[in-house]
Amino acid sequence: MTRIAVLSDIHGNLPAAAEVRKAVNAAHPDYVAVLGDLAMNGADPAGAVDLVRDMEQAGAFVICGNTDLAVADGDYVSAFPWFSDGVPDYYRAAAEWAREQLGEDRIAYLRRLPWERRLRLDDRLILFCHGSPGSLTDGMAADLEPAVTIERVSRTDASLIVCGHTHLPEVREVGWRTIVNDGSAGYVFDGDPTASWALIDVDAEGVKAEIKRTGYDVMGAANAVSERGLPGDVYRAATIRTGKLVR
């Protein structure tokens, strides 16, 4: 059996990511994957990126998320293509603040991150991506039209697709493929204000995946965002505090 731990969408929430890292280590996985969106929105982008770099030094796969693109390069339209009337100023302000906090070395690190990683276990191909196969921004939401879901999963030969981006954790089957969305280790949207991540066991019989929840100092993380005072921070803090997207 091979065990894989997956987390994503830390969004600068270092207290959450630190507790998830402890829980991941306690699970003794063979592989660890971090699926992007490391810095933007939370109060400690530098600390979050440093933690992920430490995890990479210990062997973790790390890939880019769409907000990492916004922070590193300021390409807001590419990072947030769903805003047909222009990317809101409060998104830009959060990305620019994170960029200032990170400094050049961490920015260069974000720019080097790949968009996807793959792992082959015997005859099984596993894809680690942020949004969906081939895309940072096309998510694998549960309420997608079935035809759209099939089109997105058909972009890869992988039988196990592991992703984040939606901040809504789930495990489901689509035909002969398994989709595991780990949710968010810092900015979850499902109404449970704990950090979510995924633990996946793969053997000759198939895939067993479980969503894990890890508590952390939610009020401390929310208050740190509120005290920062950027446009939109009252909503970001409420999202952290409630585990629901507030905007």
pLDDT digits (tens, 9 = 90+) for 140-189: 999 999 999 999 999 999 999 999 999 999 999 999 999 999 999 999 99
Query: How many C-beta atoms lie closer than 10 Å to residue 33's C-beta?
Result: 26
- The pLDDT score that the predictor gives to residue 247 is 87
How does residue 84 score in pLDDT terms, banded at 50, 70 and 90? confident
Task: Give me the percent of the chain exceeding a pLDDT of 90.
Answer: 98
**pLDDT of the residue at 143:** 92
pTM of the model: 0.96
pLDDT confidence tier of residue 204, bands split at 50, 70 and 90? confident
C-alpha distances in angstroms, 30 versus 5, 27, 39, 124, 223? 8, 9, 26, 16, 36
List C-alpha distances in Å: 56 to 49, 60, 68, 167, 188: 10, 4, 16, 22, 23
* CA pair distance 111, 231, nearest whole angstrom: 26
Average pLDDT on 71-98 reads 96
> What is the CATH code for 2-242?
3.60.21.10
Cα–Cα distance between 132 and 164 in angstroms, integer? Answer: 8
- 44 pLDDT above the threshold of 90: yes
CA geometry: angle 35, 202, 183, nearest 5 deg: 30
**Domain segments of the chain as ranges:** 2-242
Instruction: Give the pair of three-digit tokens for residue 130.
Output: 């942020």
* Cβ(184)–Cβ(195) below 8 Å: yes
> What's the rounded Cα separation, in Å, for the pair 206 and 109?
35
Average pLDDT over residues 12-36: 98
151-165 per-position pLDDT tens digit: 999 999 999 999 999
Q: How many CB atoms lie within 10 A of CB 174?
A: 15
Interval 102-131 mean pLDDT = 97
